[in-house]
Amino acid sequence: MNFASSLSDYFLWMEDHVHCSPKFVSAVYWALSAWEELPWVILEFSSLNISGKVFRTSDLSRLTSFFLLFLNTPAPLLLSEFRLLLAQNVPICFTPSVLHHMGTVSVAEDSCFPVEKDKVFGEPDNPVATVITDMETPLDVMPQYAYTLNQEGYSALDLIKGNHLTVILDRPQKVIRIAVLTGSDEGERYRLQQGQVELGYDPMEEPNDCAHYTLLGPLVEGNLDQRVFSEEDSEEVSCIRLLVLASQKAWVLIRQIRVWTESEEEES
């Protein structure tokens, strides 16, 4: 790691016996481009304990010193502590994973931390919600179409920085994954070029909104697909907001917002 600190801006940790998904380098590249100006310590592109973690090389000297202080502590535990020490309170994990174990488990994986298989989420369950927006459209379409799990979608024209489309859940939910898809599924047309997804808490009646929001992540090539982690005893999610970060003089299609929640059986 110390050797790599002067070779590039970012460091991707990969072990032996790892199978890479097609175009995984592009997936990592575009995610890093979207997150470049945002604060983060570790970006995770796999469910594996070590492989798929990306760091800024400017943090590598601190990370190697941290490892050397605790030589007998498993690396996955040290990574979690390192992230917390640098004020990233929850993991930032992209789905689906782009790295997977192949064959036998890597010997570098500590037995105290068995390899985590890719979580099977199943189909999104989009809980009951109301969708509001200040985006303008000359078409006879409702913002609710963006949240309905079908082929409808919501089209808007000439977006302005600060425009939003907000999903207000009927009741707070334990959300575990969110995907926001914009543009045509056939290519790059009608994508939202610059936007981010935020999680809202403390629902209000007047106005119908949430009192405060936290960043989940920016759109990567017009889309977002991330697992949602929360600190222990934190509030459940009440709103999901897609926020426009730059004006865009063109048609934009918000094709679908997908939400996965944790059932009461899973929580127990």
CB atoms within 10 A of CB 114: 10
Per the model's pLDDT, the better-predicted residue between 6 and 144 turns out to be 144
3-state secondary structure of 247: coil
Name the segment(s) of the chain with CATH classification 2.60.120.260. 129-267
**Residue 198 pLDDT > 80:** yes
Whose CA is closest to 221, among 267, 185, 262, 249? 185
SS3 content of the chain, % helix, strand, coil (to 5): 20, 35, 45
Least confident of 50-59, 132-141, 182-191: 182-191
Amino acid at 7: L
Name 68's Cβ contacts closer than 8 Å, sequence gap at least 6.
none
Give the mean pLDDT of the chain.
90
Mean pLDDT of 3-30: 91
Mean pLDDT of 151-171: 96
pLDDT band at 206 (very low <50, low <70, confident <90, very high): confident
B/e letters for 199-232, b = 16+ CB within 10 Å, e = fewer, are bbbebeeeeebbeebeebbbbbbbbbebbbebee
pLDDT band at 177 (very low <50, low <70, confident <90, very high): very high
Whose CA is closest to 64, among 76, 80, 78, 47? 78
**Residue 129 pLDDT > 90:** yes
Q: Are 187 and 253 in contact (CB under 8 A)?
A: no
Q: Beta partners for 101?
A: 18
CB atoms within 10 A of CB 87: 9
**Residue 107 pLDDT > 60:** no
pLDDT of residue 187: 73
pLDDT of residue 219: 98
**Rounded to the nearest 5 degrees, what angle is found at the Cα of 92, between the Cα atoms of 240 and 257?**
30
**Residue 264 pLDDT > 80:** no
CB atoms within 10 A of CB 257: 26
Mean pLDDT of 46-75: 92
Tokens of 143: 């913002």
Per the model's pLDDT, the better-predicted residue between 244 and 14 turns out to be 244
pLDDT of residue 117: 64
Please report, rounded to a whole number, the percentage of residues in the chain having pLDDT higher than 90: 72
The CATH code for residues 129-267 is 2.60.120.260
Whose CA is closest to 228, among 266, 180, 263, 176? 176
Provide the sign of the torsion angle of the four alpha carbons 90, 93, 99, 104, taken in this order.
Answer: positive
Least confident of 5-9, 195-199, 256-260: 5-9
Amino acid at 79: L
Distance CA 185, CA 263 (A): 30
